[in-house]
Structures are given as C-alpha cells and as structure tokens.
Structure 1
Amino acid sequence: MLLCVHGLTGSGEFFAPQAGGLADRFRIIRIDLRGHGDTAAKGELTVARLTADIEELVVHCDLHDAIGIGWSLGAMLLWGMLLGPERRRLAGAIVVDMSPRVANGPDWTLGLIDEELRASRPGESWEDRCRRIAQAIVADGLQHERAELIDRMAGWLATADADAVTAIGLSMMEQDFRDRLALIETPVLIAHGARSQYYAPATSIFLLDQLPSSTLTAFKQSGHTPHLEEPQRFNAVVAGFAAAIASAQNMKNRGG
C-alpha cells in the first residue's frame, strides 16, 4: 500500500503517474491536505495539524505496513508521523526533495536555495504565481521541453487556497527536524532531483547522514518533482524499495 502526501500548493493529482503506473501492484491512497485540491481550508492550518490529519487517516482506515511517499511538505509530514505514536503503521517512507529545515540561517545553509522562489509578488495573480511555481518545480534548464507538464502542474496548483498556502507555508518555515531525524528507525529512501531549483544535493546527503536506516537515489533529469519528471524510473524505485522492505520483514518473521 502506498500513502502519497503532496507538497505545499500541490494535491493528490501530483501523484497521477504513480496511480496509473503502480495500481496493479499496490493499493494507492492520494490525499488532498487542508486547503488543497478538493479539501476545504478549514480549522488550524499548521504542519502539526496536517500531521495529525494523516495520523487520524491511517488509524481510521486501519492501515498497516504502508509505504509513505512524501513530496516536499509531504516529506516533513511523514517525518512528523514517524516520530509519533502511529509510526509503526508505516513500513517505510520515500521522501522526495525536501530539507529538514526550509529556512536558512547562520547555522544552516541547506534549506531553500532561493526563499523568494515561491513568494508572492506585487500585482501578481494567484494563477500567474502558480505558473511561476510550476516553472521552478521542473528541472533547471528543461522548462521548454517540459512545457506540457508545466501547464498541467500550473492548473493543479491553482486549485489550492491561496490563504491556506500562506498559513501553512509560514508554519513550514518554522519547522526544524534536524535534531530529530536520528530518532526515526523506519527505513527511508531519499529521492533527490539532481537539477532541483529548491534544494541542493548536499541537503540530501545531510539526510542520508542523519537518518539511521536510509538510502539515497538521485534523479539526474529531474528538479523538485522526480515522481512527475521521471515517472517510470521513480515507479521502479518505489517498487524496488517496497520489495526490499517486504523481503526484510519476511526474513524477520522466519527468524532469519
């Protein structure tokens, strides 16, 4: 089973290639976070609340041995869950192009490469801002050849509630998981877009060093969304990761 958690301004649509390419092997759950896609912007709009939403979902659906796929903000929400009381419901997690701390500072330079990349600009419409974000999401230098993908993403992004995105974004900028990653025992696969305009390769190396049971896979032709930019390879990586976890569990059950 795959539990797909999208990033800020995204929606479950951002995992369409996984729903189409892996449905014959996995039950796939794609959620829309509060204020995104088809989910209303109501209640508390913070990282803590969204993490609790995911925990409540997995309990309500009685999910066990699921593989979480968290893209960007979604990765942060999975880290929160893996540090919480429902962590054992996930057999593994795939975190896609994310930093444990988004905001940079005197002691940290592995957050967003350019914190103005997503920021609103005077006089810019929400639709224009979403198109600009979509262009920044894909691999640096490949915007022209991925124009169709950018068009699709811009449309998906525009369905998000702008005020909700602002509130959740502010909460996300306050988070710092650096000192807690070492407490996550669950196997984690780190998927990094080598041409990401969001996070440098060194960010993923930091995650690899801090997460006790982790591996790293780089997608050389991807930016912030390797699951959309290199979907066939990404799906193969997901399937391989899930198979390795299942094999390890079987060995453990047999006492090997």
Structure 2
Amino acid sequence: MHPGEIATVLNIRSDSAQGAETTLRSCRMSDGSVMRYRDLGAGPVLLLVHGWAASGDFFDTIADLLATEFRVVIPDLRAHGETPAGEAALDIDLLANDLQTLIDALELDDITALGWSMGATVLWQLIARNGHARFAGLIIEDMSPRILNTEGWALGMATGMDIAGSGRAVEAMRNDWPAYAAAFAPKMFARGRAAREPEMIADIVARLSQRHGGAMADFWLSMASQDLREALPSMNLPTLVISGARSEAYGPETSRYLVDSLPEAQSVTFANSGHAPHLEEPQEFASAVTQFANRVHAAAVTHHNTEGKAS
C-alpha cells in the first residue's frame, strides 16, 4: 500500500445494539503505518473522532443511529483501538496529519466532524493548519482549547489541573497504566453513574486498559501543551458545542467561552451526562447531531449551487 491507499482488512463484530458485523478498513499513513477505520451508511459525511485513550468503537451506539441518514466514518487514532502506534513521535500534530491523510484518501468533502475530548483538539489543530474548506460543520463534545489551568486561565480541566498536576498524572500513566485507567474511567461519566452501573464502568476500564501507558502519556503531554484559543475566532464554520451538565472534566463556563469565541457557534447541554454524552444519552445525542448535520449540509448544498450559478 502507498500513502493514502485504502483496503478492507477484516470483519469485526460490532458492540452496537444491533450487533451487526461491520467492515474494518485500513488507510496507509505517510510514515507507512496503517490507520484502521469504519465506513458506515450513505449520505452526507459525518466524521467521528474519539477521545484520548478511547477508540472508534466508543461511538458504536450513535453510529448505528446516525448511519440511517449519513455516511459515518470512524477512525481509530494511532495507538488507540485497532490502529498501531507506528514509529513516528506520538503527538497531536501527527494525529492531525493522519486525519488529513484519511480525508484525502476517501475524498471526503462537506464534512460534519465531531471531536470528542482530544478528538476536538485534533480537529482544531487540523483546521488551524489546513483551513476548513473540506468541512461543512464542526461538533465539539466537552473540550477546552487549553486543558491546563494557569494564572488568568481557569477554563481548563474542572479539577484545576495545572502543569505540575499534569506532570504527576504523566508519571502515574507511565508507572502503572492499568491503575490509572481504572481511576480515570468513572470520571468520564456523570457523577454517581459508576456506583449505579458498575458493569458498564468495568467494561470501559477493560477497554482503556488495552492502551500502552507510554503512548498515552506522550499524547497527554502533547495535548496539554496545546493552546488553541487564538485560533478559534478564525474557524468560521457552523459549530455545535456539546457539554454534559454533570461533567467532571470541564465546567459550563468552558462551553460558554467556546460559543463566545467561535464565530458561528451554538450550544446544547445534556442534563444527565458527564464527559461522554454520546454514551450516556445516545438517543438524544444522535438527534442533536442529526439536526445540526442536516442543517449545515443543506447550507453547504445551497452554497455550492450558488457558486455554480455564479461561475
């Protein structure tokens, strides 16, 4: 395979509600490594980009719901899920490059891209560097443009994590990743959910524990170094900012900051969710995404038709 070349590699059993088999495909990256991704349904393109330490299958439930109306493309980022780490240095720039390679290989246009947590950082970095000509809309799920808190910036992680706290977290990741994953998993969800649904949390812990602690620490360090605040005002495309009212990751002020900073942003808050509304309220989440994606796709079609007549 050459860079950007795609192939079908194997069939996997989805964990979705329908339990249907889906085809896992591969796309060769510029350094020779292979990204695994799924390509479901038909219609306007939805690109779903997962968060740190997760994988594309964290979107299984909403993917089934969305694939009835959209073409849903779901990559596993490097060192996550079925995509190997490769030999390149693991950072946000590399993930953005990989995502651009996939978009080019599949010739995707008028994309509505959803970035959950670190996935939003990857999309912001890609757009800041390459522009948003290939995108119709952007959905940000519970993320801050700068995750570490500093003097004068308190809209990073709701725990108040600063540089020193991040350093301690990285040390813990490298020293005992399974223990770190077990402590991290419950904090992805609304407060109290872990006690009510221990089996669900145990499943998430098992999936997170499959990651390599060193790779996750490298990505965390890169994510923690990002400051995309100055780039936001130039991202002039329709944006939906999604948050969970009971998130332990970011507070409501962070979402308000994004709406104020992005030129065409609106917000929706899920009352019973934490950091992962797509897992906690999937039906409602899919409905919000569908409404937004249909609206921005219609606007993109109108824009293309107007351009065609003008030319």
TM-score (norm 2): 0.77
Equivalences, count: 256
**Cα distance in 2 for residues equivalent to 1:122 and 1:41:** 17
Secondary structure of the 1:105 match is coil
- Aligned-pair identity (%): 37
* One of 68, 72, 81 as aligned partner of 1:37: 81
Match of 1:21 in 2: 65
**Cα distance in 2 for residues equivalent to 1:141 and 1:194:** 13
Q: Which has the higher strand share?
A: 2
Q: Tell me if 1:50 matches 2:95.
A: yes
**Cα distance in 1 for residues equivalent to 2:202 and 2:179:** 11
| Greater shift in the superposed pair: 212-221 or 28-37 | 28-37
Q: Tell me if 1:7 matches 2:51.
A: yes
**Cα distance in 1 for residues equivalent to 2:46 and 2:173:** 40
Q: Deviations over 1:218-244 (max 9, x none)?
A: 011000000100000000001000111
**Cα distance in 1 for residues equivalent to 2:66 and 2:174:** 42
Deviation at 1:142, TM superposition (A): 2.4
Do 1:193 and 1:219's aligned partners in 2 also have CA atoms closer than 8 Å?
yes
Q: Deviations over 1:119-173 (max 9, x none)?
A: 2649974323212211011001222223233122212212222111000100111
**Cα distance in 1 for residues equivalent to 2:174 and 2:56:** 29
**Cα distance in 1 for residues equivalent to 2:242 and 2:261:** 15
Q: CA RMSD in A?
A: 2.1
Match of 1:154 in 2: 205
Gaps of 5+ in 2: 1-44, 307-311
Gaps of 5+ in 1: none
Match of 2:179 in 1: 128
* One of 118, 136, 145 as aligned partner of 2:196: 145
* One of 232, 241, 247 as aligned partner of 1:181: 232
**Cα distance in 2 for residues equivalent to 1:121 and 1:48:** 24
Match of 2:274 in 1: 223
* 1:162-201 mapped onto 2 (5 Å cutoff): 162-201=213-252
Which has the bigger relative contact order, CA under 8 A and spacing at least 6? 1
**Cα distance in 1 for residues equivalent to 2:173 and 2:145:** 30
Secondary structure of the 2:210 match is coil
Q: Tell me if 1:239 matches 2:283.
A: no
**Cα distance in 1 for residues equivalent to 2:174 and 2:118:** 26
CA gap of 1:122–1:86, structure 2 versus 1, over 3 A, is closer
Instruction: Give the AA of the match of 1:209.
Output: D
Secondary structure of the 2:84 match is coil
* One of 71, 74, 77 as aligned partner of 2:122: 77
Instruction: Give the AA of the match of 1:135.
Output: P
Report the structure number with the largest CA radius of gyration.
Answer: 2
